Amino acid sequence: MTSAIEENLFSALARAVVLVDDPDEALAFYRDVLGFRVLHDQTAEGYRFLHVGVPGQEGVGLWLMPVTGDRERELIGRQCGAQPLLVLYTADLDAVRERLRAHDVRVWNEREDADSRSLHLADLYGNVIVVAQLRE
């Protein structure tokens, strides 16, 4: 049996990977629809390193990683199974809903709980994203 680690081994969460078929198309969705910022965009040895994130949290983001073959392509949009890819917090869920609708993004499962209001959306590949507004 292992004991609990008493020291912090890591200083931060940096990137989570989202498999994409077209990095430019994915960037347009995450930047232009969801308002993410480009944190890093560099091509080295023919491979593009495209990282996006939420303004104000420049150290944390998504790596929009192009698939490298048919096996990875099969995972696009369902790399988390039926579970959400990520959860985003907002101070104004109504404004998010209106922006999503203006961009014809599918929204469902709008709900109110004791501690939050939330909705689900799908990115252009079908990955589920939850947006929540926490109650004060």
Q: Is 27 helix (H, G, I), strand (E, B) or coil?
A: helix
Per-residue model confidence (pLDDT) at position 52: 98
Assess whether pLDDT exceeds 90 at residue 37.
yes
pTM for the full model?
Answer: 0.91
Assess whether pLDDT exceeds 60 at residue 35.
yes
- Band of pLDDT at residue 58, cut at 50, 70 and 90: confident
Average pLDDT, integer, range 84-108: 97
Strand order in the sheet with 116-122: 86-89, 128-134, 116-122, 107-112
Q: Domains of the chain (ranges plus CATH)?
A: 15-134 (3.10.180.10)
Q: How far apart are CA 105 and CA 124, in angstroms?
A: 8
Q: Is 30 helix (H, G, I), strand (E, B) or coil?
A: helix
Burial class (CB in 10 A: 0-12, 13-18, 19+), 127: buried
